[in-house]
Structures are given as structure tokens and as C-alpha cells.
Chain A
Amino acid sequence: MKRFFSCLVQAAAVVFLLAAPARTETLQTTDALGRRVELSLPVRRVACLSSDALEVMRILGAEGLAVAITDTVAHEPGFWGSLSGLPVAGTWQEVDLEMLAAIKPDLILCYAKSPGQELEARLGPLGIAVLRLDFYRPGTLEAEVELLGRVLDRREQARTFLAWHRRAMDQVRSVAAAAPRPTRVYMESYSPFVAFGPGSGGFDLCRLAGGENIAAAMTVPFPQVTPEWVLQNDPDVLIKAVPTPVYGDKGRERMEKALAAMRGRQGWTNMRAMREERVCILSGDLSSGPALAVGAAWLAKWLHPEQARGLDPAALHREYLERFQGVPLRGVFALPGE
């Protein structure tokens, strides 16, 4: 009888060990909204609802973990390659919750504020974690890349990218520091006469590159301004951001048209920036997102051409695309320049 009980206990122990799940680790972290988030590691399946986050996954060599994407990625096979063929779970603002529940990823990566928090409310009870990281702001990019490296167990790859990014940003900072005075800039967002104001990514990038944004006194991130106010401020440089995507040949025409439209703005012909032909166009691919160091380098080049002689933004861009994205440099992302 004693022997029978001993066998029973041993059998129960074996069954318990076999039935126990694989060893998991829990990571407690803070997302872009400042909320505490608890994640179960390892993460094997990621639904990526932000193209910036997918770009970072590719930087980390973790794109193979992606199991769902947004329509933005599906529409750009030239840049995204086979990732474009993954199931589309919606757009950057609206997702198919039912589809995500069916795919059952370990983790959903998305922007801080979109889609809405119905994601957590509906999918949290199904055991699907949501991590909100922006990956487009100069002030938070490094911490977010480092965090995703930990979450996806790609710490080394994150360190490699961050070393490259910091080196590029240091170059930009040293150019800005060497400039005798800040260059005055009017930096326009995607809409006509809507500036990048304090709180916008473009504003931060401009300051980083040693630019004195003439919209610095504004109180909103995207203030509407008058052409007369811009003319009165007589900026040294005009920079216009053009919406993404411009990768490939189709972006060239878009960039050139934007440049011609800026140069042809009525009443601005006597503005210093116009007279000195310092009108520049920057693609949204570079003004925000993981490649923003390249955008910052272009700004530094345009704002301080003398001090930035040794800075080669096109080479930086090529390196970023070839080394971290695995694609060649194709298309025009900055004018004048590339």
C-alpha cells in the first residue's frame, strides 16, 4: 500500500511537470502614455499596428515575429517586401478586433493614441497584451527602441542601432554647436500655412539641428499662420514637410512639385530664404520616425552649410536603409540634396 502511494505521488509529480507551461518571465514597464504595462515574455507573435514600430522591428531583426500589419504597410511592397503580404488588421486608426482576436498575437504594438483604448478593453481579457510606443519623437525614440529590444529579446541589435543613431545625432549636435548663431526657420507641416509648433516632432527636430523656429512662441503643435507673418519674420530657411510615403520613383514628382509650389508662393519673392534659394523639402519618412537622425542631418546641412561640410545625410540615409532595413536607397527624400 505504501509503495502504491509512493508510485501515485511520483506519477502525479511527472504529470504536473509535463503539464506546466514553458518558463515565462514577466516584464513590467511603462508605455508612451505613462501607464504601467505587464508583459509576459518571450514574445513570439506581434501584431504591428504602426509602421514606425514595424520599422523598428526590422531594425532589431525581429520582423519575422510580425503576424499582422496595417494597410499602410500592405500598400508599400516596394519598401516592406514580404511583410506587405501579412494579414492586414486595419488602419493606423481603426482595427479589426475580431481578426486580432482570431490571430491571437502575444503582443500588439501601436501608437500611443491610436487606435483607441478599446484595444486593451476588448483584447486584454483574451490575454493579448498591448504596448503603446510612438517611435517618431526625437525625445523618446532611444528609450522606446531600447525597451522594444528588451521585450523582443533583441538587446544587442537595439544597442547597435542606438550606437549608430547617437553617433549621427552627435554629428548633428556638433554642427549646431559650431554655428555662430541659430538659423531662423519657418518649418511648415503637411498643410499650407500650418507650422510645426512647440510639441510637434518637427519642432523638436528643428531645435536639435540648431534651428530657431519662428513659431516658437506659439501655443499649439500645429498653429495656423498667415503668409504675412512668415514674411515679416523673414526666416533664413523655409522647410516644408511632405507626406509619406515617397520611397521609390513615385515620390520624386511629389517632392519636386512641393518644392516648385513653395518657391512660387505669392508675395514671398523678396524673403531672404527665397532670395538665397534656401527653400527645402523634407519627406515625412525622415522628419519623424526611426530614421529621424537622417532628417536631423538634412536639417543641419540646410541650416548650417558651412559647419556641416563633413556631414553627408545621403550617405547616412543609405546606411540606415541598407544596414537596418535591408533595402537599397531608392527615391528622393530631401530637396535640394538627394
Chain B
Amino acid sequence: MDRAGTIQLFRAHAGRRLAVLAGLLALPLLAAVVSLATGASRYGLADFLDALARSGEARDILLGLRLPRTVMAVLTGCGLAVSGAVCQAVLRNPLASPFTLGVASGAGFGAVAAIILFGAVHNGPVAAGAFAGALGVSLLVLGLARLRDAAGETVILSGVALMYLFSALTSFLQTLGSAEDVHRTVFWFFGNLSKAGWPEAALAAAMILPPLPLLVLRAWDLNLLLHGDETAETLGVNVAGMRGGLVVLASLMTAGAICFTGVIGFIGLVAPHMARLLVGSDHRRLIPASAAVGAALVTGADIAGRSLLAPQVIPIGVVTAFLGVPFFFFLLFARRRRA
């Protein structure tokens, strides 16, 4: 094939991937529309204009409850998926996610400590405890990794060790708690989007959205990291600094997502892989595609959780695991077949 033919083929291929990306970006929008149309009350999409125009029950439900819930679902999915994609790139490990770095265990420990040690009875202090726990673990991972030049495997091993440590500390606190406290911690771990109102959504947005353009701008550096630390260093990437910074950024995005909602598993691991299958490994497309897939998955899981046994809600963390675990196995076996 001549040069012109190769360029044409490349352009056609890139064009297809861009078209897929555009389609993917429409997914969370579609999921959000379905989410806004789904609820226990009789109000649907047609009532939104009425809700915007005047106060009353429609406004309370559509703008006060359903819209912030949907916004929170989109933000949570977006934050978890992008932080997963970043972790998998900077650690060059397809099984990496903020959860394998111990961030969720840290958040869980913080929430359980707030409930059992400080007797927190409402959401604010519990969310603050979860955020502090997640942040503390990310800084610990970073500190430990820096002791050994922030190599990828050091970061992962430190994260896994901290995950076990904080899981054990959480279990220890639960042995100290009363039956009522343990009841509350169990429900915190299930995940619950009902706790999210506009203030929570605004805070989550402040932690999840600002890093997105920054990550897209550093997409080339992330691409170079996939070729190994030495290659990336040779081409001008400050690998240690970038790895540390991005791990903390990813952890912050995760903390922003889960401190208000509780643990929502598997999105950070699975959504980047789904996006990679569809748009390839180029982070210029992978970051927005992961955000879109993650947002669509969490919003879809929330719709399913609210609808399948309505009016009972299947906890969001349970639904995402139902979706995530089969896909996780698919990935494992597909990789083994390729090997």
C-alpha cells in the first residue's frame, strides 16, 4: 500500500473512532433523560417546563429531587471511570483503579469512624469522614511510593497493602460499634444516591470536573507512559512527578464521587476497559469516552436499581457490581485466551 493509501486508511480509522466517541458522548445524555423521566411520582419529562415556571410539587420532585440525583449519578460515574482510566495508564496495569489503591477502603474507614467513634447521625460529618479517609490514603500511597521513586508496582503494592490495612481497621471499628451503628455502616457501604441533593452535587462537581480538561491536555503524556517509564522519560515526561500528581488527582476525583454516595464498585475498573474496546487506547479519546461510559453505567444502574423492585431501591453499589463482575470475568478470560 502506498503512503497516500496508508494516510487515507488512518483517517478513515480515526474518523470511525471519532464517530464512536460522539456516539458514546450521547450515551450519558440519553441515560440522564431516561433517569429524569423515571421516578415514583406521576411527573415525566413533559412536566419540566411547568416545574421551571412555577413552584409546587412538580418543582420539588423534578428539580429538587430527581435532577440532583441524576446529576450526581452522572458525576459519580464520570469521576470513577476517569480516575480508573488514569490509574490504569500511570500504573500500566489493566487491573488498577482507585479502589485497588485503597481509596475506597480509606473512605469507608473514615465514614465508619465518623459513625462509630464520633456518633455522627447525619450525612455531613459522615461524608467529611469519608473524604478525609480517602484523601489520607491517597497521600499515604504517594508518600510510600516516593520512597521508592514512584515506580508503578510500588504504588500498586502500597495501595493494596493500605487497602487491607484500612479494611481491617474498618472491621475493627465495627466490632466496637453497637448494633445500630453497624446497621448504619452496612448501609453506607451499599451506596445510596438518595443522600445527594444540590449542595452535595455542587461539591462533587467541584472535585470531579476541573481535572477533566487537565487530563485531556496531558493525554499525550499518558500515551507515552504506556510505552514504559524509560521511553516516556526519554521523550521529556517527568514520570515520577506525573505519576504522583495523577494518582492524587484520581484519588480526589474518587473521593468526590463516593464520599456523598457510599461505595460504588467496579465502575473505575470496568468503564475504562469498555471505552478502550470502543475507541482504542489513545487517551485523547479514552478519557472522554471513559467519562461517558462511566456516567452512562452509573445512571443506568441507578435507573435499574429504582425500577426493578420499585418502590424498593436496590442499592447502587449492588447493581454496579452485578454489571461489573460478569464483565470483569469476561476481561480476565479474554486476556487469557489472547495470551
Taking Cβ atoms with an 8 Å cutoff, the residues of A that contact B are 71-72, 91-94, 114, 189-194, 217-220, 222-229, 231-232, 242-245, 254, 257-258, 261, 266-270, 284
Contacts and interface: CB of A to CB of B under 8 A. Distances in A.
B197 A224 contact: no
B149 interface: no
B236 interface: no
B183 A91 contact: no
B47 interface: no
B64 A266 contact: yes
Top 4 nearest A-B pairs (CB, nearest first) are A267-B64, A243-B180, A229-B40, A266-B197
Contacts of B65: 226-228, 231, 266-267
A71 B176 contact: yes
A92 B178 contact: yes
A215 B146 CA distance: 53
A191 B42 CA distance: 27
A192 B195 contact: yes
Contacts, number: 118
Contact of A231 (B60, B119, B315): B60
Nearest to B55: A270
Interface residues of B, number: 41
Contacts of A217: 311
A257 B118 CA distance: 14
Contact of B183 (A71, A72, A189): A189
Tell me if A's interface is mostly helix, strand, loop or mixed.
loop
B194 interface: yes
B242 to A, nearest CB: 39
Nearest to A266: B197
B194 to A, nearest CB: 4
A226 B313 CA distance: 7
Nearest to B60: A267
Contacts of B119: 243, 254
Interface in B187-221: 187-188, 190, 192, 194-195, 197-198
Interface of B: 39-42, 56-57, 60-61, 64-66, 68-69, 119, 121-123, 175-176, 178-184, 187-188, 190, 192, 194-195, 197-198, 306, 309, 311-315
Given A226-B39, A232-B40, A257 B56 contact: no
A157 to B, nearest CB: 27
A13 B197 CA distance: 83
A211 B66 CA distance: 28
B312 A192 contact: no
Nearest to A223: B312
5 contacts: A93-B175, A94-B175, A224-B190, A244-B178, A266-B65
Nearest to A220: B312
Contact of A228 (B39, B183, B192, B197): B39
A269 B121 CA distance: 21
Contacts of A269: 60
Contact of B306 (A190, A226, A244): A226
Contacts of A227: 65, 194
Nearest to B124: A261
B175 A231 contact: no
Contacts of A261: 121-123
B121 A228 contact: no
Nearest to B41: A232
Nearest to B193: A226
Given A190-B180, A270-B60, A258 B313 contact: no
Contacts of B178: 72, 92, 243-245
Nearest to A232: B41
Contacts of B198: 266
Residue from B68, B181, B313 whose CB has the most chain A CB atoms within 10 Å: B313
Contacts of A268: 60
A270 B59 CA distance: 10
A231 B176 CA distance: 36
A218 B309 CA distance: 9
A71 B179 CA distance: 12
A191 to B, nearest CB: 4
Most buried by A among B39, B40, B176: B40
B66 A228 contact: yes
A192 B123 contact: yes
Given A93-B182, A231-B60, A192 B194 contact: yes
Contacts of B42: 232
Contacts of B180: 190, 243-244, 284
A267 B194 CA distance: 12
A225 B194 contact: yes
Given A224-B312, A266-B198, A267-B60, A242 B121 contact: yes
A232 B60 CA distance: 10
A284 B178 CA distance: 11
